[in-house]
Amino acid sequence: MKRVVVTGAGGFIGGHLVKALIAKGYHVHGVDKKPLNQWYQVTEEADNLVLDLTTKENCYQAVNGYHEVFNLAADMGGMGFIETHKADCMLSVLINTHLLMAARNKGIDRFFYASSACVYNASKQTDTDNPGLRESDAYPAMAEDGYGWEKLFSERMCRHFHEDYGIIVRVARFHNVYGPYGTYDGGREKAPAALCRKVIDGELNGVKDIVIWGDGHQTRSFMYIDDCIKGILAIMYSNIEEPINLGSSEMVSINQLADMAEEIGGFKLNRSYDLSAPKGVRGRNSKNTLIRHYLNWEPSIPLMEGLKKTYTWIREQMIEAKESNKHVRFN
């Protein structure tokens, strides 16, 4: 039986990945620094362990006796978090550094690193009509301050551990992943979940107004979690040696995303715009030429389809919280 480690297993993507690997018949070691009762999903069939992986000794403990590592561990969140916690985001470099050292010394065969579209040169993202970011657009380097620079540096470290020590390393640059069992409140949530929550709040509690960060014209693409998991597994077991985009190419504005959430909920809100709020780059989209070339596949679940599932799940959580007179808030 293949023995694999998933770091960040208590997070949104990590929780889904653990379930997918268990379904494939793997022995899974799920690791996260959060207490187990704060994990977004806990799969009982996995060997779950609470460890802070910024510490080298803990990384050695996490990978000892296993064959492969999926490194999804990072201190991150939506734009509201990464623009105000740049030092915290940079400290995630300790996780990947120590995990690579442990992988080298403990004989790990294959290593997956979850990077981000935040590595891309900001000068390529100044127009809302973004043609799609090619993998080569990461250089010359001008990454998102804090989070993006940590990801870009860690990509290079993965490359050199492959070159110098022979570890098979695969790197995927995630573009805005969303779906059920993710953060929707508390400050770390991303735009799809935040907008769903605000529309549901209007529906359930009569809140009639919504504040949108920026002018609403900024553009992004959003990848549903099922596409993300499929892509992670395909890239991990491929021959793709360079960092590669993993994201939808269906680009929408934030206003259009809000329109979709309102259509799903059947509830319209009065919009106002906070131009001083964190809003990131002007336009970002995934160019999927390379992943289609290598895998004859790309993320393709329509945004409306995935958003309906996400909206339904968030609504269930909010109704449960309302009925139990509790305010559910993810850390």
Its CATH architecture, for the domain 183-221+250-283+303-323, is Alpha-Beta Complex (3.90)
Q: For residue 329, name the pLDDT band (cuts at 50, 70, 90).
A: very low
Residue extents of the structural domains in the chain: 3-177+222-246, 183-221+250-283+303-323
| Nearest CA-CA partner of 190 in 280, 80, 299 | 80
Residue 279: the pLDDT is 84
To the question of domain 3-177+222-246 being in CATH 3.40.50.720, the answer is yes
pLDDT higher than threshold 60 for residue 283: yes
147 is catalytic: yes
The 10s digit of each residue's pLDDT in 256-279 is 999 999 999 999 999 999 999 888
Q: Which two tokens stand for residue 124?
A: 């390529």
Is the entire prediction scored with pTM above 0.75?
yes
Q: What is the pLDDT of residues 286-320, one digit of tens each?
A: 999 999 999 999 999 999 999 999 999 999 999 99
C-alpha neighbours within 13 Å on the C-beta side of residue 71: 35
pLDDT average, residue stretch 105-110: 97
Cα separation, 320 vs 316, in Å, equals 6
Catalytic one among 120, 147, 184, 311?
147
Q: pLDDT of 233-247, one tens digit each?
A: 999 999 999 999 999
